């Protein structure tokens, strides 16, 4: 088909070159014969060229196919060789495994009871290494954990030196637990710098320097506690450090090997406790301070007023400085001789004194009732925050929930702490107010009785 198309195109090109004149309807015979021969020759030459090109392409394809077949054969040979090598290596591995099993069995049979002994030694070394790494004694005797770790991790039979080191370290650890020693070593200070200092150690329980307690860090060095215990405990440390001669000195130690000291460091201060209550806690504290000051003021003033009233009872001359004196002056200023009128005048004078006596007591009572309610409100808010934290982060980390729980508990405690003194102050102040009112009513009743008998003073 391709050759036919090429021949057709060549024929059309030849005819066009021969100059056919379609307008006259004729050809030039000599020119037409020469042109067709040329076209035929051109077509044949082009066909030969195409055939040669096709044969060349076919030969090239056959050559490439032969090369690919050779490559495929080479790859298949390589795969076969690899499979054979794999089979051989599997056989070698199985043979080695059988030989290892036989050697292990032979080793176990030759070791006999020593195998259990060495296993126990490795276990003892691992357990002792855990104790040594966290012991304050290692600050005085460093490097022991390396020996124990080597023995605990060895795959070979322990040597005699290793067993002897294990025994010596174990005896040393037991002996040093009952000793009080002073030695010099490096201490990591708060700024991260290390300095040489004298350290006093009581067994493996506590260590202190300059009256300040130390802790043994994971890095194998002593560090000062971020927060020291109370003064009486640090004073005991100073007494032990400065002790000289024979006798006994009263000191302090941590039987939990540092846990109590760490709890002391983690314990929040009073200010931190208050901050845990957040806004509700501060409102409770403000209400408590105001209520306590008001209650103390009313209690003191009512107590002084009650003393003044009792003094007025013993005097006949009325004074404006106390409620009873003002009631007596109101009676003296009464011009009517009618008993009912006098009684009304005295009742009016007493009613004028009662608000002065009871003023502020209701506010103290309200604050005493509101403080626990505010604490309950803070508790609810804290639990809401806790549940939100649980929703977002789950229950895997208790520290995430600690903030909400602290707010809930601290506000409850603050509310109760505020309510108790407010209730007591309200009771004392209210009792003093009632005693004064009772004296006024008793004296007024006595004045009315005397007036009714005609003995007006």
The answer to whether residues 342 and 448 belong to one domain is yes
Q: What is the pLDDT confidence band of residue 16, given thresholds at 50, 70 and 90?
A: very low
Q: What is the pLDDT confidence band of residue 13, given thresholds at 50, 70 and 90?
A: very low
Least confident of 40-44, 115-119, 314-318, 453-457: 453-457
Tell me which residue of 345, 313, 290 sits closest to 435, measured CA to CA: 313
Answer yes or no: are the C-beta atoms of 209 and 202 closer than 8 Å.
no
DSSP 8-state assignment for residue 227:
S
Answer yes or no: are the C-beta atoms of 446 and 417 closer than 8 Å.
no
Q: Domain for residue 214, yes or no?
A: yes
Position of tokens 């391709």?
Answer: 2
Token digits of residue 286:
């403000």
Predicted local confidence at residue 188, as pLDDT: 82
Q: What percent of the chain has pLDDT over 70?
A: 86
Last residue in a domain, options 160, 177, 194: 177
Token digits of residue 395:
């229950």
The predicted-structure confidence for 37-80, as pLDDT tens digits, reads as follows 788 888 888 888 888 888 888 888 888 887 888 888 888 888 98
Q: Based on the structure, what is the number of domains in the chain?
A: 4
The answer to whether residues 328 and 447 belong to one domain is yes
Is 86 in a helix, a strand, or coil?
Answer: helix
Predicted local confidence at residue 420, as pLDDT: 92
Query: Do the bridges between strand 222-224 and strand 180-188 make them parallel or antiparallel, or are there none, so unpaired?
Result: parallel
Least confident of 118-132, 176-190, 234-248: 234-248
DSSP 8-state assignment for residue 192:
S
- Largest separation between any pair of C-alpha atoms in the chain: 183
Q: Domain for residue 184, yes or no?
A: yes
Predicted local confidence at residue 397, as pLDDT: 65
The answer to whether residues 138 and 228 belong to one domain is no
Total residues belonging to the chain: 457
The predicted-structure confidence for 397-428, as pLDDT tens digits, reads as follows 666 666 667 777 888 888 899 899 999 998 98
The answer to whether residues 444 and 367 belong to one domain is yes
The answer to whether residues 442 and 332 belong to one domain is yes
The answer to whether residues 184 and 152 belong to one domain is no
Q: Domain for residue 99, yes or no?
A: no
Is 209 in a helix, a strand, or coil?
Answer: strand
User: Can you tell me the distance from the alpha carbon of 198 to that of 43, in angstroms, rounded to the nearest whole number?
Assistant: 114
Predicted local confidence at residue 196, as pLDDT: 84
DSSP 8-state assignment for residue 158:
P
Q: Domain for residue 319, yes or no?
A: yes
Q: Domain for residue 128, yes or no?
A: yes
User: Can you tell me the distance from the alpha carbon of 457 to that of 455, in angstroms, rounded to the nearest whole number?
Assistant: 6
The predicted-structure confidence for 22-42, as pLDDT tens digits, reads as follows 344 443 444 445 588 788 888
Predicted local confidence at residue 454, as pLDDT: 67
Predicted local confidence at residue 187, as pLDDT: 86
Answer yes or no: are the C-beta atoms of 421 and 372 closer than 8 Å.
no
The answer to whether residues 235 and 377 belong to one domain is no
Predicted local confidence at residue 442, as pLDDT: 80
Least confident of 350-359, 393-402, 422-431: 393-402
Last residue in a domain, options 140, 162, 177: 177
**DSSP readout, 1-54?**
-HHHHHHHHHHHHHHHHHT-BTTTTB--HHHHHHHHHHHHHHHHHHHHHHHHHH
The answer to whether residues 136 and 207 belong to one domain is no
Q: What is the mean pLDDT of residues 168-192?
A: 85
Is 177 in a helix, a strand, or coil?
Answer: coil
The predicted-structure confidence for 212-264, as pLDDT tens digits, reads as follows 888 888 777 888 877 777 777 788 778 887 777 666 778 777 777 777 777 77
Token digits of residue 346:
């005295």
Q: Domain for residue 196, yes or no?
A: yes
State the CB neighbour count (10 A cutoff) for residue 217: 12
The answer to whether residues 280 and 389 belong to one domain is yes
Q: Which residues contact 236 (CB under 8 A, 6 or more apart)?
A: 250, 251, 252
Is 69 in a helix, a strand, or coil?
Answer: helix
The predicted-structure confidence for 262-312, as pLDDT tens digits, reads as follows 777 666 667 777 777 788 888 888 888 999 999 898 888 888 888 888 877
User: Which uninterrupted H or E stretch holds 198?
Assistant: strand 194-202
Least confident of 26-40, 151-165, 395-409, 440-454: 26-40
Domain that holds residue 245: 178-257
**Backbone torsions φ then ψ of 20, nearest 5 degrees:** -65, 140
Tell me which residue of 361, 353, 343 sits closest to 425, measured CA to CA: 361
Last residue in a domain, options 223, 257, 291: 257
Q: Domain for residue 268, yes or no?
A: no
Q: How far is CA 184 from the centre of its chain?
A: 36
The answer to whether residues 192 and 315 belong to one domain is no
Is 167 a residue whose pLDDT tops 80?
yes
The answer to whether residues 182 and 170 belong to one domain is no
For 279, counting Cβ atoms within 10 Å of its Cβ (0-12 exposed, 13-18 middle, 19+ buried), the class is exposed
The answer to whether residues 15 and 149 belong to one domain is no
**DSSP readout, 390-446?**
HHHH-SS-HHHHHHHHHHHHHHHHHHHHHHHHHHHHHHHHHHHHHHHHHHHHHHHHH
Least confident of 17-26, 252-261, 380-389: 17-26
């Amino acid at each position: 088909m391709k050759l036919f198309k090429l021949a057709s195109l060549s024929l059309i090109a030849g005819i066009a070159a021969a100059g056919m004149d379609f307008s006259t309807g004729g050809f030039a015979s000599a020119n037409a014969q020469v042109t067709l021969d040329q076209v035929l020759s051109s077509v044949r030459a082009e066909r030969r060229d195409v055939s040669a090109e096709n044969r060349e392409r076919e030969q090239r394809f056959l050559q490439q196919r032969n090369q690919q077949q050779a490559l495929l054969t080479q790859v298949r040979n390589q795969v076969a060789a690899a499979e054979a090598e794999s089979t051989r290596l599997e056989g070698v591995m199985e043979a080695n495994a059988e030989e290892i099993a036989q050697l292990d069995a032979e080793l176990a049979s030759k070791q006999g009871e020593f195998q259990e002994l060495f296993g126990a030694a490795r276990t003892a070394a691992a357990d002792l290494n855990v104790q040594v790494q966290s012991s304050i004694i290692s600050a005085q005797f460093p490097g022991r954990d390396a020996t124990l770790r080597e023995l605990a991790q060895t795959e070979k039979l322990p040597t005699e030196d290793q067993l002897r080191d294990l025994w010596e370290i174990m005896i040393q650890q037991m002996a040093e637990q009952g000793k009080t020693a002073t030695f010099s070593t490096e201490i990591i200070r708060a700024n991260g710098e290390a300095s040489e200092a004298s350290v006093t150690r009581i067994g493996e329980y506590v260590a202190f320097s300059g009256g300040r307690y130390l802790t043994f860090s994971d890095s194998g060095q002593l560090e000062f506690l971020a927060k020291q215990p109370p003064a009486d405990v640090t004073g005991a440390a100073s007494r032990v450090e400065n002790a000289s001669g024979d006798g006994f000195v009263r000191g302090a130690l941590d039987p939990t090997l540092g846990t109590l000291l760490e709890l002391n460091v983690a314990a929040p201060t009073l200010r931190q406790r208050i901050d845990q209550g957040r806004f509700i806690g501060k409102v409770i504290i403000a209400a408590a301070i105001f209520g306590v000051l008001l209650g103390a003021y009313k209690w003191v003033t009512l107590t002084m007023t009650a003393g003044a009233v009792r003094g007025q009872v013993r005097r006949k001359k009325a004074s404006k400085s106390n409620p009873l004196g003002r009631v007596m002056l109101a009676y003296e200023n009464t011009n009517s001789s009618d008993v009912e009128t006098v009684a009304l005048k005295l009742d009016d004078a007493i009613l004028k004194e009662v608000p002065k006596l009871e003023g502020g007591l209701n506010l103290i009572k309200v604050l005493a009732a509101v403080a626990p309610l505010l604490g309950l409100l803070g508790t609810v808010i804290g639990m809401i925050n806790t549940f939100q934290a649980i929703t977002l982060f789950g229950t895997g980390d208790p520290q995430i929930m600690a903030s909400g729980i602290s707010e809930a508990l601290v506000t409850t405690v603050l509310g109760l702490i505020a309510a108790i003194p407010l209730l007591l102050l309200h009771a004392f102040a209210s009792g003093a107010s009632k005693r004064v009112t009772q004296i006024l009513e008793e004296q007024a009743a006595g004045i009315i009785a005397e007036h009714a008998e005609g003995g007006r003073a």
